[in-house]
Structure formats: C-alpha cells, structure tokens
Amino acid sequence: MVSLDPVWIKPMKVGSRALDPLGMDRVSDRITNELLMGITSMTQRARYYSFYTWAVYNVNKSSKISKFGEFAKAFYDRERAFMMACIAHKETSTDPKLDHSGILGSIKGQQIWRGSKNNVKMSFRFLANRLGGYGYYYRASLFNLGLTTTEEVRDVVTELGESLAITFERSIRNTEYFKKYVEKDIIPKRVLLEYGKKCCLCLLKENVMERELLKEILFGLTPELKDKTLHKNRRETLSLILYLIHQASIQHLELDEENFCNAAYFRQIVKDGRVIDLDIPDYFYDIIMRWRIFTSHDFFSYACESLFSAFLRTLEKYGQTGISLENFFSMISDDKSVEVLSSLLNVSFKNRTLKDIKINDVIADICRLTMGAHTSTVTIQMSEEFDQKCDLKSPLNEYSLAKKLEHFFTSEDFDIHNAVMTCCLLLLLLYIRFYYHWKKSDKYWIWLGEHTGSDLSPYRLIYDLEHKMTEEDLTLFDFLTWLIKEYVINQANRISAEKSLNTLMPRPIFWFHQEGSVYVKDRDYSPRHRNSRFYSCYTILRDLGLSEFTGEYTKLTNDGAEFLQGLMKGMS
C-alpha cells in the first residue's frame, strides 16, 4: 500500500502561483469531466493511451511486484525508454508532416539524445512523478476509460485494456528493445531508433488495428462502454467537433477553441470579422446545449475575474496606503462610468449618475439594441425572444463584450471604467438570456445547478439577481456594489480560506489584504477563459486519422467523413 507522509509535521509550503482566485474552475471542471471523461487538457496524444496501457500490462507480465515502489520503478523504466524512442524518431525524421508534438519529457530527452554518443544511460530523471507522465496526466484517464484498475500495490489492466495492450505490443514485438532491452541500464541509440520507428506517437495512423480499437474506446463504441452516459457524452462531443471541423473547412477556416464555443453558444462562427451561420443537425441538440452551458459559465467567470483584476489594479495605484471600499466605489461610479455606459448602449444618460440609473432602464436599453424592442421587465417570453435574436451579429452580445474586456486587460492604458461597465453589461446579458431556462427549470438549467452546488455560476447569478430585482428602485450602482462585494471580495476571501485549510496543498499567497478599513494589493491576477479541453480533442482526432491539416486549415479525412456519417446515423 502506498504510504502518505504525515503532512502535519512538515513545514507548510507557500504556493507562488495565483490560480483560480474565485473558484470558477470548479464548475467548469465538473462540466468538462462529465462531457469529456477520459480526456483532459494534458492528454493530447492518442497513442499514449495505448502505450501506458501496454506498460501496465507488460510490467505485471514481466516483473515480480510485491510493493508499489517496484511497480513504479519498472513502469518508469518503460516510459523513459518510450520517451527516448520518440525523441530518436523526431531527431532523425525528415518528414515535416509527422507530428512529434506532445512528447512528455521532450526537453530533457533531446538534451540526453544530443549529448550521448552511441549509447544512452537510462538512469536520468525527466518527470518528478514516480509514475512519470502516466502519474501526472494519464492514470485517471485510463481508469475512467475502463482500461486499468488499481490493486493494493500496483495498477493492472482490465480485459479491454489487455486487448489494447496486446494490439500495441504487436507493433513493437520484433524490435530489439522489446526482445532484449526492457529495463536495461544502457540502451544503444540504434536500438532506441528502431523502437521509435515502431512506437512513436506520430505513427499511430500506420497501425490500423491499434488505431481502430483506440477509436472505439475513445468514442465509447465497445460493448463495455456503449450504453454508459459519460461515454455517450464524450462520443457526442467528439462527433460534434468532427462536424464543426467539416463546417469550418468549407469556409477554409481552422476551427479553434473560440469558434467551437461560439458554435455551441450562438450556432455561428467568425472568420476575418465576418459572422457565418451554422446549420447544426437536431441530433446534436443535447450535447450542444451542454456545451452552451459551459460557455455561459466561461462568460460569467471571465466577467467576475475581470472585476477582480480591476479591483487589484486599482489597489496597486494606492500602494501600501490602500483604499477603502467606499472610496473605491466612489471612484468607479463617477461621470466617466456614465459616459462609458452611454457609449456601450448608444444612449444618453446626461446629468445622471449610476446611483439614479435604474437597472431596469439598462435592461430596456440592452433589449432595444438587440431586439429592437423597448422592454424593461424580464419575462419568459422576452427572454426567449432575446435568446433567439441576440447573436454574433448583434451590436451587443456576450462574445463582443468579452473581446472588449480582453483588449482592456492587454492594453497599456488600462481604464477601469471601461472594464467595470463592460462586466456589468456582460452579466446582465447572461441574466436576460438564461432567465427563461431558470424560470422553466429545464433539464439543462437543473444540470447546471447540480454542477454548481455552493459555488458561483450563471445559475447562482440569476437566482441571486432575481431576488435583488425585488428591491424597489434597484440602481446600477446598487447592482455594481453588490456584485463586487459578494462575487469578488467575499468570494475571494472564501476561496482563500478554503485553500488555507487544505493541509495537502501548498498554502496560497493571497491577492490582497485588509488593514482596518482599507484594502492593500499583494499580487497580480489577470482574467482567463476556462479550458474546454478542445485542443486535446483536436489532436486526438488527428492522431486517429479522422482529420488532417491541409497547410491552411484542418478538414476531415475520407475515413473521418465516413466515420462521422456512421456516428450521426446512430444518434438520429
């Protein structure tokens, strides 16, 4: 059994990285774990699934294992040799079309290869985890795909995993490495090169049986996986990406993560500033709605983190003297904010302040811009109409506001009034758009609620804001101050307190602190978008031979188009 050192008698380390200050990753991670179980942001090459399954299989078949350390050492030896074989293939290959990206430990591997003459000493460390890249990135994925399971002192393969391991072994069984050099301390470079010409990540497309079995596993088509919900979600997500690759390729456009999210949210993509409408079949409706929920949370998170970052930038100006919340709110709600709001909504708020601009007036102006209708009360009917009409072609939409925020935070001349007012409008757009989902309690909104729990998401925003709307004469200033106090300052304090109580994680350095009535900045933070794992899916689909890069954009291969047609028939 793997023993854990008693962390409570060790000095607590302080983390230097500022990650997820408002806890926004929690909801997005829960969503992506359900939609892409077995694929993470770091599992970017399909053949690692084969190799790691084989390594588990081969260790148990070839080595006597009585404790975890023995399993880890034997596994690490195999991974180190695999990495060096891939590096050998990369260093000697002359074909520019071969994809050698994503080799785990490649920087160290290249140094070792170039610094060795005829033989490579296999005693170097290249990844700190005792199980290498498997321990860091792929172990949970293989388990979730039903390829491996854990026993007391080791991992073992399942029946499905054994099938994949044996298929991979067929590719390498005639190599000198497999016959003579597994777990050897010194391996000739010629042996590693021969091994690399059979096992390299880039060669999966040449191994038909292995590729087809991997395809069935990752798309959840094997009898063991086919009827399970999480595997169905992954299959439909990968199918949707294949379909969108095809739609983008018609426009000679390289599908990226941004346009994948736009396709799910607006059913539109953008090319060179031009909006392209997509015709997405109805059988993608369920999975696209779930990715729409993910994207709504990304917009929500980006707005909240932008307010958080704007707050920190303001504190920075005041140095160690700090600033009180009263003075901070006074500063961001002056005449400049009203000017920015007027510009964004294309309306005049002459001689008015944020304290006398009603929130319903702002909602009415949003609807006027997006729907051509003057309505200040959010109803089910109005929300549904707004959702239909507010798209990428609208003068005001979530994507365009998020792009404005991205520009503000990368500009040398940062203006807090622009940032704060843009955040307010972005959050109000989410409230209007998803109000009818909340009011009708449709299954996708309930699903978001289940993945939100006690954390923040659009689900929580609409619930909270609906109760705020009952306050008489709610102003934009009331909304703004509530938002920053509850969703920024108090939330950051809650997340920091939770992380400080976790004895298994490094204690984080906080971003600001309070001295009496004033707040003082401690560190920087920049807003970021949530990771959809899109790029991992993209590279895996290429590895499986379902898509290919033309030099300008990615398109489906003939096999990919045929495979997608079969998947769509199964979904209809």
Q: What is the pLDDT of residues 269-281, one digit of tens each?
A: 999 989 999 999 9
Q: How far is CA 231 from CA 10, 220, 228, 311, in A?
A: 41, 5, 6, 42
Q: What pLDDT does 472 receive?
A: 80
**Span 290-300, pLDDT tens digits:** 999 999 999 99
**Cα(301)–Cα(430) distance, integer angstroms:** 11
- Pairing, β 268-271 against β 274-277: antiparallel
**Low-confidence winner among 11-15, 219-223, 284-288, 536-540 (lowest mean pLDDT):** 11-15
Q: What pLDDT does 3 receive?
A: 34
pLDDT of 47 > 80? The answer is yes
Give residue 572's pLDDT band: very low, low, confident or very high (50, 70, 90): low
pLDDT of 361 > 50? The answer is yes
Q: For residue 486, give the amino acid letter.
A: E
What values do phi and psi take at 339, rounded to 5?
-60, -45
Q: What pLDDT does 423 receive?
A: 98
Domain covering 229-280+533-571: architecture: Orthogonal Bundle (1.10)
Q: For residue 236, give the amino acid letter.
A: E
Whether the full predicted model's pTM is greater than 0.85, yes or no, is yes
Q: What pLDDT does 278 receive?
A: 95
Q: What pLDDT does 281 receive?
A: 94
Instruction: Provide mean pLDDT across the span 104-122.
Output: 96
What pairs with residue 333 in β-bridges? none
Q: What pLDDT does 1 receive?
A: 34
Instruction: Provide mean pLDDT across the span 422-440.
Output: 97
- State both tokens at 372: 């051509």
Rounded-to-10 torsion of CA 223, 224, 225, 229: 110
Helix 476-483 vs helix 416-440: crossing angle, to nearest 10: 90
Q: Are 32 and 297 in contact (CB under 8 A)?
A: no
- State both tokens at 160: 């499905």
**Cα(405)–Cα(415) distance, integer angstroms:** 10
Q: Where are the domains of the chain?
A: 42-218, 229-280+533-571, 294-521
Give residue 504's pLDDT band: very low, low, confident or very high (50, 70, 90): low
Q: Please name which of 488, 492, 518 lies closest in space to residue 327, comparing C-alpha atoms.
A: 518
Burial of residue 59 (CB within 10 Å: 0-12, 13-18, 19+) is buried
Q: For residue 381, give the amino acid letter.
A: Q
Q: What pLDDT does 139 receive?
A: 97
Give residue 501's pLDDT band: very low, low, confident or very high (50, 70, 90): confident
Q: What pLDDT does 509 receive?
A: 74
pLDDT of 86 > 90? The answer is yes
Q: Please name which of 46, 135, 36 lies closest in space to residue 99, comparing C-alpha atoms.
A: 46
Could you say which DSSP state residue 282 is in? G
Q: How far is CA 310 from CA 114, 303, 422, in A?
A: 47, 10, 12
**Cα(486)–Cα(460) distance, integer angstroms:** 12
Q: What pLDDT does 349 receive?
A: 86
Q: How far is CA 377 from CA 129, 466, 467, 469, in A?
A: 56, 11, 14, 10
pLDDT of 97 > 90? The answer is no
Q: Note the helical H segments in 411-549.
A: 416-440, 443-452, 458-468, 476-483, 491-501, 534-543
**Cα(226)–Cα(100) distance, integer angstroms:** 31
- State both tokens at 536: 């991992």
Q: What pLDDT does 507 receive?
A: 59
The continuous run of DSSP H or E covering 317 comes out as helix 285-317
Mean pLDDT of all residues belonging to the chain: 92
> Among residues of the chain, what percentage have pLDDT more than 70?
95
Q: Please name which of 251, 259, 270, 249 lies closest in space to residue 554, comparing C-alpha atoms.
A: 249
Q: How far is CA 207 from CA 94, 100, 196, 200, 222, in A?
A: 20, 16, 14, 11, 19
Q: What pLDDT does 503 receive?
A: 56
Instruction: Provide mean pLDDT across the span 550-558.
Output: 95
Q: What pLDDT does 5 receive?
A: 34
Q: What pLDDT does 506 receive?
A: 58
Write 156-159 long-range contacts (CB < 8 A, 24+).
156/56, 156/60, 157/53, 157/56, 157/57, 157/60, 159/224
62 SS3 class:
helix
Q: What angle do CA 342, 344, 346 make, to 5 degrees?
A: 60
Q: Are 182 and 57 in contact (CB under 8 A)?
A: no
Q: What pLDDT does 505 receive?
A: 57
Report the largest interatomic distance among the alpha carbons of the chain, rounded to a whole angstrom. 85
pLDDT of 8 > 50? The answer is no
Could you say which DSSP state residue 373 is in? -
**Cα(283)–Cα(571) distance, integer angstroms:** 6
Q: What pLDDT does 16 receive?
A: 41
Instruction: Provide mean pLDDT across the span 5-34.
Output: 68
pLDDT of 12 > 70? The answer is no
Burial 262-281 (b: 16+ CB within 10 A, else e): bbbbbbbbbeeeeebebebe
Instruction: Give all strands (DSSP E) within 124-197, no chain letters.
Output: 148-150, 155-157, 186-188
Q: Please name which of 557, 553, 561 lies closest in space to residue 269, comparing C-alpha atoms.
A: 553
Give residue 15's pLDDT band: very low, low, confident or very high (50, 70, 90): very low
